[in-house]
């Protein structure tokens, strides 16, 4: 989740995505202050700050957890998309103002809320449950979701479905590549997300929904389906992948205050990838009032839903494609 400060045209729903390298560079970690750790990758750095926690062991645990999330993303992609960003970790309370603002008061999740702001540099804010242990935190998807938007510019309300869709797609893909999820389980979680989006029903065109909470599932998972289809089309038509194109965008066009309309963003991705994959899909998806069909993508991936369960074909081309998306980059069939 990301929020736009009232006086600033800035949004970027978090993340530590980094693309385009087969092997991750060395990651250095320095403790700068009592509650701050700096993760350095080349000339880029991510500041991890734990706020309002006096217990030294808990501070170390939370910093270690976030460092693992960062390392997982780096293992898959190899570099940070921005020169500098920071992550603020706070422990939630039942009456915590952040939880009230998120609309998830009483949420039992280990990480009930996350937000990214750009009013003072790029800041990722994560609320964690005070009694959430390290294993619970590692099993939670929120931090990886929130560490998956640094790879796009601020896209405005009309582009929210693109932003949230990218994070929803990569929260599963990155965790699988890092070994935090089994590859088949990552596909099951994507399929479950698509089902939630489909069950939310029809409504306004996807490109016009903006911040409507009533259509949250269609925004997140219809957007995720867009990025999955784009990834598949790039692999089929351009012998590229989504990671490579987003990495090129990061190098040429992305900084901490980048803004673009959705149309400008997808046009630039097409320029960097060649062809019209993104703009063609964008026109179709932005006009959709219902959840996008999954049949063609599932057929290519060898996925089939039977009796409510996702089945996996052993067809060689489908197995290679599923592995290419979900396996660690160095091990994937390229």
Residue 119 clears pLDDT 60, i.e. is over it: yes
DSSP track, 107-147: --SSS-EEEEE-SSS-EEEEEE-TT--HHHHHH-SHHHHHT
More confident residue, 42 or 70: 70
β-partners of residue 36 are 33, 49
Between CA 92 and CA 227 the distance in angstroms is 32
Q: How far is CA 134 from the centre of its chain?
A: 21
7: pLDDT strictly greater than 50: no
Q: Residue 41: helix, strand or coil by DSSP?
A: strand
Q: Calculate the CA 76 to chain-centre distance.
A: 13
Burial class (CB in 10 A: 0-12, 13-18, 19+), 28: exposed
User: How does residue 198 score in pLDDT terms, banded at 50, 70 and 90?
Assistant: very high
Q: With pLDDT > 70 as the criterion, what percentage of the chain qualifies?
A: 81
Residue 199 token pair: 């069950």
Rounded Cα distance between 157 and 289, Å, is 17
Mean pLDDT for the chain? 83
Q: pLDDT for 129-151, tens place per residue? A: 999 999 999 999 998 888 887 88
Give the residue among 163, 211, 167, 168 at the shortest CA–CA distance from 191: 168
pLDDT in the model for residue 67: 86
Which DSSP helix (H) or strand (E) runs through 84? strand 84-91
pLDDT value of position 21? 33
- Where b means 16+ CB within 10 Å and e means fewer, 265-287 reads bbbbbbbbbeeebbeebbeebbe
Q: Could you tell me the CA-to-CA distances from 180 to 52, 76, 184 in Å, in that order?
A: 29, 12, 12
* pLDDT score of 30 more than 60: no
pLDDT in tens, 154-171: 898 999 999 999 999 999
Question: What pLDDT is recorded for position 24?
Answer: 38
User: Which of 5-9, 60-64, 130-134, 157-161 is predicted with the least confidence, judged by mean pLDDT?
Assistant: 5-9
Share of residues in the chain with pLDDT > 90 (%) = 55
Query: Of the ranges 18-27, 90-99, 176-185, which is most confident?
Result: 176-185
User: Taking phi first (over 0 means left), then psi (-120 to 50 degrees means alpha), and beta for anything else, what does residue 168 get?
Assistant: alpha
| Phi (first) and psi of residue 188, to 5 degrees | -60, -40
- The reply to whether the predicted model has a pTM over 0.95 is no
Within a 10 A sphere around the Cβ of 27, how many other Cβ atoms?
16
Q: Is pLDDT at 13 greater than 50 in this prediction?
A: no
- Per-residue pLDDT, 257: 81
Residue 25 has pLDDT above 50, yes or no: no
Query: Which is nearest to 167 in space by CA: 185, 187, 144, 183?
Result: 144
Beta strands 84-91 and 44-51: pairing type? parallel
Model confidence band, residue 182 (pLDDT cutoffs 50, 70, 90): very high
Which secondary structure element, helix H or strand E, spans residue 101, and what is its range?
Answer: helix 97-102
Give me the pLDDT at residue 84, please. Answer: 84
Question: Which pLDDT belongs to residue 60?
Answer: 93
Asked if 245 contacts 142 with a C-beta cutoff of 8 angstroms, the reply is: no
Which is nearest to 77 in space by CA: 274, 258, 270, 242? 242
Which is more confident, 289 or 123?
A: 289
| Beta-ladder partners of 113 | 127
Res 6: pLDDT: 30
pLDDT tens-digit profile of 271-326? 999 999 999 999 999 999 999 999 999 999 999 999 889 999 999 999 999 999 99
pLDDT of residue 228 exceeding 80: yes
Nearest Cα neighbor of 201 from 119, 290, 264 is: 290
Q: For 112-261, where are the alpha helices, taking DSSP H only?
A: 134-139, 142-146, 160-177, 183-199, 216-233, 242-253
- Per-residue model confidence (pLDDT) at position 23: 34
Count of CB atoms within 10 A of residue 252's CB? 10
Tens-digit pLDDT profile for residues 206-216: 999 877 777 89
Rg of the chain taking only CA atoms, in angstroms? 19
Higher pLDDT, 22 or 240: 240
DSSP 148: B
pLDDT at 242: 94
Q: Which of 63, 76, 186 is nearest to 134 (CA)?
A: 63
């Amino acid at each position: 989740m990301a929020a736009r400060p009232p006086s600033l045209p800035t949004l970027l729903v978090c993340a530590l995505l980094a693309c385009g390298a087969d092997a991750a560079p060395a990651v250095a970690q320095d403790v700068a202050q009592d509650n701050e750790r700096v993760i350095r990758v080349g000339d880029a750095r991510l500041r991890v700050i734990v706020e309002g926690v006096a217990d030294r062991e808990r501070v170390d645990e939370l910093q270690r957890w976030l460092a693992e999330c960062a390392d997982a993303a780096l293992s898959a992609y190899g570099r940070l998309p921005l020169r500098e960003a920071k992550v603020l970790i706070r422990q939630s309370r039942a009456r915590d103002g952040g939880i009230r603002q998120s609309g998830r008061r009483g949420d039992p999740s280990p990480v009930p809320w996350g937000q990214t702001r750009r009013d003072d540099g790029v800041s990722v804010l994560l609320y964690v449950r005070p009694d959430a242990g390290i294993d619970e935190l590692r099993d939670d998807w929120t931090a990886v979701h929130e560490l998956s938007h640094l790879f796009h510019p601020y896209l405005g309300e009309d582009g929210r479905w693109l932003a949230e869709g990218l994070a929803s797609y990569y929260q599963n893909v990155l965790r699988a590549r890092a070994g935090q999820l089994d590859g088949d389980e990552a596909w099951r979680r994507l399929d479950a997300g698509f089902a939630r989006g489909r069950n939310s029903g029809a409504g306004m065109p996807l490109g016009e929904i903006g911040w409507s909470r009533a259509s949250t599932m269609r925004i997140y998972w219809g957007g995720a389906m867009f990025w999955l289809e784009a990834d598949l089309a790039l692999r089929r038509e351009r012998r590229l992948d989504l990671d490579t194109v987003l990495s090129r965008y990061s190098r040429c066009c992305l900084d901490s205050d980048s803004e673009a309309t959705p149309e400008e963003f997808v046009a630039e991705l097409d320029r960097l990838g060649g062809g019209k994959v993104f703009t063609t899909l964008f026109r179709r998806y932005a006009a959709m009032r219902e959840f996008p069909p999954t049949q063609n993508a599932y057929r290519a991936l060898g996925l089939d839903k039977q009796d409510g369960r996702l089945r996996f074909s052993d067809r060689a081309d489908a197995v290679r494609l599923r592995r290419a998306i979900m396996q660690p980059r160095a091990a994937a069939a390229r």
